[in-house]
């Protein structure tokens, strides 16, 4: 089994041993969970505990492990877009776990990371348009920054 990029490679460089079988099982569990929830997700149902955080983290983990885009990652991308609020943000899951899972800003950043990891050609323009519109350029609705996102210029 090859060494996956996340988190194995940085750990190995630091001399931290990784259980490759467990790392592979974790990725398989992520795929199995999202595959089994795909029908509900395609309907926009809040089928995923943790909402955008769970989907975003899962997409970033899969991408960091060099998992190719497939029907599971496409479902996750469609679901994230369906769950996005009109102002460009994603709502939290009702939990308050500071500092990283504290607000719509962190939920939105993780969701955006997931979308960036697996952009579908069909919705790539839609993602860019949403990222470049609205308050705070869409991704960070409470941002007071006047600096434009370079990708939106």
Over the stretch 55-92, which tens digit does the pLDDT of each residue have?
999 999 999 888 999 999 999 999 999 889 888 888 76
Over the stretch 133-143, which tens digit does the pLDDT of each residue have?
544 444 444 44
Task: Compute CA distances 95 → 43, 50, 57, 134, 144, whole Å.
Answer: 24, 9, 16, 26, 25
pTM of the model: 0.73
């Amino acid at each position: 089994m090859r060494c996956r990029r996340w988190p194995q490679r940085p750990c190995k460089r630091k001399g931290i041993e990784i259980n490759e079988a467990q790392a592979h099982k974790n990725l398989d569990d992520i795929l199995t969970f999202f595959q089994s929830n795909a029908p509900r997700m395609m309907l926009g149902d809040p089928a995923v505990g943790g909402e955008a955080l769970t989907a975003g983290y899962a997409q970033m983990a899969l991408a960091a492990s060099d998992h190719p885009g497939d029907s599971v990652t496409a479902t996750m991308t469609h679901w994230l877009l369906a769950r996005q609020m009109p102002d460009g943000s994603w709502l939290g899951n009702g939990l308050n776990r500071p500092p990283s899972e504290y607000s719509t800003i962190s939920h939105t950043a993780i969701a955006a990371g997931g979308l960036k990891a697996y952009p579908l050609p069909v919705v790539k323009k839609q993602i860019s348009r949403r990222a470049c519109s609205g308050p705070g350029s869409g991704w960070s609705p409470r941002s007071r920054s006047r600096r434009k996102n370079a990708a939106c210029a």
